[in-house]
């Protein structure tokens, strides 16, 4: 079978541009193949199209399509994070052979084009079962991290009474945005794969940002998001961070309870999250809320 590999980006001087029809075609493809890569794509094609269009207009992203004469067989989304010197190569494809083909092509394109400043390449592969494991050692990539995909049904989650001194404060003011950003950067500054944030990264449209207050002190933060449609609202605990001073005091558990409660009030029926497989204390807490493993994200590096 002959493939056509198209480069789609916002660079009007050098590369092909996505048309609206191609954006819709790609969103349909992403919707059809289900979970893949490290992103949680919503189960709504219009929202997927909007996300793709936003990527398309951002200089730090590139989109590649793998096509035959009539259909998309796979795609690659390349995101550069200069702050931590890495490029994320996300792949979505209908077959493992197409995934391997795209990864191989991306590595060759990276070595030839010399348009990226970052030196490290990270490839996240979503594995639902051991049957679809992909070994990338032959491309001289090595496994560097594993994250667990977990979810729970709201109806199976027990919410206890709220903590008297724990307050979740939603971020609405500009000075609070800076405070939230500083807190997040302080807590995660040594965490693998974390790129320091600025207030420009603050997207109030798609996320709920909350500071966790213990008395008059900032104990941490919580980020929530909602995916999916009204008939099946899917919520995500995007991030929970607890300051070192307040760890091992049950605050993380209480923050999780409050986060789930907020999502429930918004009509969410199912909650998902990602967690580092090495973070055993967090996994233990999630299991108490009936979260169960649904897959793994294996991060490969070159």
Q: Consecutive 10-residue runs of the chain (302 residues): their mean pLDDT? A: 54 58 90 88 83 75 84 90 91 90 87 78 81 78 94 76 65 80 91 86 74 87 83 86 90 89 90 94 93 94 92
Q: Please give the pLDDT value at position 14.
A: 47
In angstroms, the Cα distances linking 206 to 71, 210, 278 are 31, 13, 28
Residue 290 burial (10 A CB sphere; 0-12, 13-18, 19+): middle
Q: Please give the pLDDT value at position 214.
A: 82
Q: Please give the pLDDT value at position 1.
A: 40
Task: Tell me if 181 sits within 8 A of 197, measured CB to CB.
Answer: yes
Rounded to an integer, what is the distance from CA 14 to the centroid of its chain? 29
Dist CA 267 CA 260 (whole Å)? 11
Q: Please give the pLDDT value at position 125.
A: 92
Report all structural domains of the chain as residue ranges with CATH numbers, in order of start.
4-140 (3.40.630.30), 152-296 (3.40.630.30)
Claim: this prediction has a pTM higher than 0.75: yes
Q: Please work out, in degrees rounded to the nearest 5, the angle formed at the alpha carbon of residue 229 by the alpha carbons of 29 and 298.
A: 50
Structure token pair of residue 19: 């048309």
Look at the chain and count its residues.
302
């Amino acid at each position: 079978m002959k493939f056509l590999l198209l480069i789609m980006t916002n660079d009007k001087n050098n590369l092909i541009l996505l048309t609206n029809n191609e954006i819709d075609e790609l969103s349909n493809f992403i919707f059809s193949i289900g979970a893949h890569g490290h992103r949680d794509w919503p189960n709504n094609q219009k929202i997927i199209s909007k996300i793709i269009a936003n990527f398309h207009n951002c200089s730090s992203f590139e989109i590649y399509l793998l096509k035959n004469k009539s259909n998309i067989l796979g795609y690659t989304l390349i995101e550069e994070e200069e702050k931590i010197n890495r490029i994320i190569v996300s792949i979505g494809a209908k077959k493992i052979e197409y995934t391997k083909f795209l990864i191989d092509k991306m590595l060759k394109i990276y070595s030839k084009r010399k348009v990226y400043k970052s030196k490290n390449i990270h490839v996240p592969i979503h594995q639902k079962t051991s049957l679809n494991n992909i070994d990338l050692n032959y491309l001289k990539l090595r496994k560097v991290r594993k994250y667990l995909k977990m979810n729970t049904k709201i109806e199976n989650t027990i919410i206890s009474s709220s903590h008297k001194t724990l307050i979740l404060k939603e971020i609405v003011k500009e000075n609070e945005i800076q405070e939230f950003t500083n807190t997040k950067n302080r807590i995660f500054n040594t965490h693998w794969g974390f790129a320091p944030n600025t207030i420009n990264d603050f997207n109030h449209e798609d996320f709920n940002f909350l500071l966790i207050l213990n008395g008059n002190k900032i104990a941490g933060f919580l980020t929530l998001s909602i995916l999916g449609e009204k008939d099946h609202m899917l919520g995500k605990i995007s991030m929970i961070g607890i300051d070192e001073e307040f760890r091992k005091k049950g605050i993380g558990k209480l923050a999780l309870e409050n986060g789930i409660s907020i999502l429930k009030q918004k009509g969410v029926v199912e909650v998902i999250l990602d967690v580092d497989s090495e973070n055993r204390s967090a996994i233990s807490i999630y299991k108490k809320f009936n979260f169960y493993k649904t897959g793994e994200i294996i991060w490969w590096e070159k």
